[in-house]
Amino acid sequence: MKRVHNFSAGPATLPLEVLEKAQKELVEYKGKGQSLMEMSHRSAEYTEIDQQAKARLSSLLGLGDDFEVMFLQGGASSQFMMAPYNFLRENETADYIDTGRWSDKAITEAKKFGYVHVPYSSSEGNYDRVPKNGELKFSSNPVYVHFTSNNTVAGTQFPTEPETNGVPLVCDASSDFLSRPIDVDKYGIIYAGAQKNVGPAGVTIVIVRKDLLEKAKTEGVPTILRYKTHTGKIFNTPPTFNVYMVNLVLDWIEQKGGLSYFESFSQKKASLLYGEIDKDDFYRGAVEKESRSLMNATYRLPSEELEQKFLSEAAENGLVALKGHRSVGGIRASMYNAMPMESVEALVSFMQEFRDKNG
């Protein structure tokens, strides 16, 4: 078996142990004579998986009894619409911090439901930084403050939650979900597409604070798009196998040591790679150092021709999916939880050899 060093921004690399366990259980799940994918989502087997995954998420994040956890579909992009549909009324304002492609898309959707105020935008700098708290100019009475905690395209990340003076945060956490501890008391909603840190594409994790949920709209909101529809029950058929995979990954995260372990692990991987980028001018970081992401390192080479050569030779050496997003170009190395240190070490070694030959 040959496994490449997969630096994809998503769908991303999964823990080998999880893949191997899923492989063993794929055809017949726990002696039931059928695959989990063939079982009813109302079965005892799937109900156990659903409840176990939600309990593990609550434990890892320290949610207690204050939040509802849901497994929905439609990716984080569906939540760009669903969050304001449930909580933003026509005469109300929500604040949206604009730090990248995905926050910009979230702003576009939110404007369909109410007023949107942008307390900060780094668009004029090609989204090369995130704001400091003193740069945020909030509206007078926002319903919530939305931010994208990690920006996969640009390669920036909030080092900690924005300070909102008690206004609940709504967070698109897709690309750094479960990579570090968070202050859950500051959040009203956390949503994340699973395909970065938590599982395969196809399931979206949505976490909503119960007291905020009581304020959600119902009139005019289609049944399936109401968060309340999905609390305490499985309303419609979920992506059962995807949730099963998420549950396996959550178990793996627990076994490794939880979010504190992965915070430290991410810092070590990023430190190694950024250290190589900063050695001289051959590799050039694409964003401000203070805003650099631990998940997605973006950088450039002296010319686009050299970048193409870099990508081609990297692939020949088993280092794949390093091409930057089509909107910005360059190189992007995504280092989510399941990315082993050996892969980052292999990339850094290749970068050194490439510089020696082409610098």
CA atoms within 13 A on the CB side of 48: 8
231 is in an annotated binding site: no
Residue type, 269: K
Whether 252 is catalytic is: no
Whether 172 is catalytic is: yes
66 is in an annotated binding site: no
Cα gap 195→49, rounded to integer Å: 19
> Which ranges in 257-359 belong to alpha helices (H)?
258-277, 304-316, 341-358
Which entry of 95, 102, 176, 323 is annotated as an active-site residue?
102
- Residues composing the chain: 359
Q: From 125, 179, 152, select the one nearest 288 (Cα to Cα).
A: 125
237 is in an annotated binding site: yes
Which entry of 50, 95, 98, 172 is annotated as an active-site residue?
172
Which entry of 54, 196, 269, 323 is annotated as an active-site residue?
196
252 is in an annotated binding site: no
300 is in an annotated binding site: no
42 is in an annotated binding site: yes
Phi-psi region of 51 (alpha: psi -120 to 50; beta: other; left: phi over 0): alpha
Whether 281 is catalytic is: no
236 is in an annotated binding site: yes
Q: Which long-range contacts (CB under 8 A, 24 or more apart) does 306-309 make?
A: 306/358, 307/331, 309/358
Cα gap 160→327, rounded to integer Å: 27
What residues are labeled active site?
102, 172, 196
Tell me the binding residues for pyridoxal 5'-phosphate. Answer: 76-77, 102, 152, 172, 195, 236-237
Tell me the binding residues. Answer: 42, 76-77, 102, 152, 172, 195, 236-237
